[in-house]
């Protein structure tokens, strides 16, 4: 059984024209870690895109990420 770390790639949409591919070595990250990796202000909202729905991810909330998932950074207060 391999103990090698698998790199997880996710995508962070910064704005309509900019999407960044981010890499993490751990499947559990916080919203703050995603924002830091993408260069997004901590005050911005962060959401996980699930089909047509956006699920809010707070800065200190641990979340399990999966390869290929898409996140969106939005102006503060966009998602309640």
Q: Which domains does the chain have, with CATH numbers?
A: 8-74 (3.10.20.90)
| pTM exceeds cut of 0.85 | yes
Query: Which pLDDT tens digit goes with each residue over 21-38?
Result: 999 999 999 999 999 999
> DSSP code of 76?
T
Question: What is the average pLDDT across 57-79?
Answer: 94
Q: How many residues does the chain have?
A: 80
Q: Which of 8, 27, 11 has the alpha carbon at shortest distance from 70?
A: 11
């Amino acid at each position: 059984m391999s103990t090698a770390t698998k790199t997880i790639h996710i995508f962070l949409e910064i704005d309509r024209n900019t999407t960044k591919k981010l890499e993490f070595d751990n499947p559990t990250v916080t919203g703050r870690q995603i924002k830091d990796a993408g260069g997004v202000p901590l005050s911005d909202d962060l959401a996980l895109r699930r089909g047509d729905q956006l699920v809010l991810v707070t800065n200190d909330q641990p979340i399990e990420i999966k390869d290929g998932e898409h996140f969106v950074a939005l102006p503060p207060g966009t998602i309640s």
